């Protein structure tokens, strides 16, 4: 095979038919450009939405579930083993909300090599009191700095800092929704009442906004020590432990192990947020479906133009074959045209995709939900570009293969005698 001649002929065809060549290449360019833009934007959006939930969600959430015993006393009575027993209206057994031996458990978890960190929490229901109004809500006691390190807690503080909460003994990080309802601001005092009826004044050191209104309307945070004092509990009173792992895939087996080993409830992130996984998958599916459609359309453009070119060049093909070019040579002429169109169009497409997504990356995007996000999210991943150019080459190869196969099969005698 003599590539210089083949490429020379291919190039001459492409250059003399520059308009058709450009049309075919532009088809690929737009296909790839749209794919890059779409996939960068969609995956950027996806990871932003996932972060919205997953960043503040622990990989494993350990707590003491209040539930009825699975084994009722009658099950232990062996004499009626073969018969059916029925116990109506089973109640949960008397149990404590706190995690038994929480502090040693925390130390154990933090020493595990797979664990990035385990942090204790105390959750309780309280009332926010403003004059005669009582608003129900949740108060969570946290280890502030650990929470910031593991769960990006500071992303959701819109006024004030984590340090303010850490350094103020009676400080509270008030949910933005509650603050609005009660017209409270930083530096004000808010009264909270426990279920038992004890009332405590707390100083507002910051606002908390997660972006999910239902949470912002009830949720506030205080230090672990503060809440233990409010509830009148000892230092080992801990209701929840949140674990963050290095590898998300470890969450399920580890949760199962903790449940079995410590007789506690341990929920892993994939079970708790299955719907996000589904949402991400479907959004990716849509992105790829649209991109592949675009590329198939571009592929048909190339197919069409090469087909036309081959009909136009019947005589040339016949004489090339008569003067000693084999069918393979002629096929390679048209294949190399398709591949040149694919390469040029594909790389231009990557460029256009990069430029477009960079522009999108600079468009301001302000949303209440995400105080840290200022522009539209874009995920520039080198793999998208690799996939893009691979697909461009693949589709042009296929689009070029069929017409060039036809050129291979053309019988020169028929063409020459048909004149």
Partner 1 sequence: MNPVLEAKNINKYFEKPVSFHVLKDINFKIKEGEFASIMGKSGCGKSTLLYILSTMDTDYQGQLFLNNELITGQKRDILSRIRNKHIGFVFQFHYLLSEFSVLENVILPAKKLGEKSLPEIKAYAMEKLRILDIHTLADKKASRISGGEKQRVAIARALINDPAIIMGDEPTGNLDSHNSENVFNIFRQLCDDQGLSLLVVTHDKDFADKTDRIIEMEDGRIIHS
Q: Does 332 bind partner 1 (CB under 8 A)?
A: no
Which of 118, 93, 125, 330 has the alpha carbon at shortest distance from 243?
A: 118
Q: Does 416 bind partner 1 (CB under 8 A)?
A: yes
Q: Which is nearer to partner 1, 18 or 76 (CB)?
A: 18
322 contributes a contact to partner 1 by CB under 8 A: yes
Residues 3-42 that bind partner 1 (CB under 8 A): 4-5, 8-9, 12-13, 16
What is the nearest approach in angstroms of partner 1 to the Cβ of residue 414?
10
> In sequence order, which residues have a C-beta less than 8 Å from that of residue 58 and are 6 or more positions away?
150, 151, 242, 243, 244, 269
Q: Which of 63, 200, 325, 384 binds partner 1 (CB under 8 A)?
A: 325
For residue 300, how many other CB atoms are within 10 A of its CB?
13
Q: Which of 152, 256, 315, 390 binds partner 1 (CB under 8 A)?
A: 315
Minimum separation from the CB atom of position 307 to partner 1 (A): 19
Distance (Å, whole) CA 180 – CA 190: 13
Query: Angle at CA 410, nearest 5°, toward 407 and 413?
Result: 145
Q: Which residue in the block uniquely carries the two structure tokens 């933005």?
A: 176
Q: What whole-number distance in Å separates Cα of residue 228 and Cα of residue 250?
A: 32
From the list 141-149, 156-164, 273-281, 405-413, the region that binds partner 1 by CB under 8 A is: 405-413
CB 46 within 8 A of CB 280: yes
Residue 282 binds to partner 1 (criterion: CB under 8 A): no
CA dist 7 → 2, 22, 172, 395, 396 (Å): 9, 18, 74, 20, 17
Nearest distance in Å: CB 303, partner 1: 22
The answer to the question of residue 319 lying near partner 1 (CB under 8 A) is yes
> Which region, judged by CB under 8 A, interacts with partner 1, from 147-155, 156-164, 190-198, 408-416?
408-416
Interface with partner 1 (CB under 8 A): 2, 4-5, 8-9, 12-13, 16, 315-316, 318-329, 411-413, 416-417, 419
């Amino acid at each position: 095979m003599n590539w210089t001649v083949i490429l020379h002929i291919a190039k001459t065809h492409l250059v003399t038919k520059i308009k058709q060549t450009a049309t075919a290449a532009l088809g690929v360019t737009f296909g790839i450009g749209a794919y890059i833009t779409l996939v960068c934007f969609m995956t950027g959006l996806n990871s932003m939405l996932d972060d919205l939930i997953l960043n503040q969600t622990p990989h494993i959430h350990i707590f003491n579930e209040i539930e009825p015993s699975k084994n009722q006393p009658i099950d232990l009575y062996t004499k009626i083993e073969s018969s059916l027993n029925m116990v109506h209206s089973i109640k949960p057994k008397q149990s404590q909300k706190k995690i038994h031996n929480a502090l040693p458990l925390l130390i154990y978890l933090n020493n595990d090599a797979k664990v990035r960190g385990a942090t204790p929490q105390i959750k309780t229901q309280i009332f926010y009191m403003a004059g005669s109004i009582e608003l129900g809500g949740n108060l969570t006691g946290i280890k502030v700095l650990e929470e910031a390190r593991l769960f990006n807690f500071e992303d959701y503080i819109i006024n004030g800092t984590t340090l303010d909460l850490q350094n103020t003994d009676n400080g509270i990080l008030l949910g933005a929704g509650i603050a609005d309802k009660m017209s409270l601001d930083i530096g004000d005092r808010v009264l909270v009442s426990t279920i038992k009826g004890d009332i405590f004044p707390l100083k507002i050191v910051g606002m908390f906004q997660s972006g999910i209104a239902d949470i912002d309307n009830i949720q506030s945070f205080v230090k672990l020590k503060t809440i233990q004092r409010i509830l009148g509990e000892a230092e080992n009173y801990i209701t929840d432990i949140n674990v963050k792992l290095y590898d998300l895939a470890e969450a399920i087996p580890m949760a199962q192990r903790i449940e079995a080993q410590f007789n506690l409830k341990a929920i892993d992130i994939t079970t708790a947020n299955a719907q996000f996984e589904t949402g991400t998958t479907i959004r990716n599916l849509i992105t790829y479906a649209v991109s592949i459609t675009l590329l198939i359309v571009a592929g048909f453009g190339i197919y069409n133009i090469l087909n036309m070119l081959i009909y136009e060049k019947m005589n040339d093909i016949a004489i090339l074959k008569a003067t000693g070019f084999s069918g393979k040579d002629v096929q390679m002429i048209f294949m190399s045209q398709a591949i040149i169109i694919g390469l040029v169009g594909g790389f231009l497409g990557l460029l256009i995709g990069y430029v477009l997504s960079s522009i999108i990356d600079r468009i301001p995007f302000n949303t209440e939900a995400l105080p840290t996000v200022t522009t539209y999210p874009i995920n520039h991943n080198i793999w998208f570009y690799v996939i893009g150019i691979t697909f461009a080459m693949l589709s042009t190869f296929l689009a070029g293969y069929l017409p060039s196969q036809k050129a291979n099969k053309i019988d020169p005698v028929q063409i020459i005698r048909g004149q």
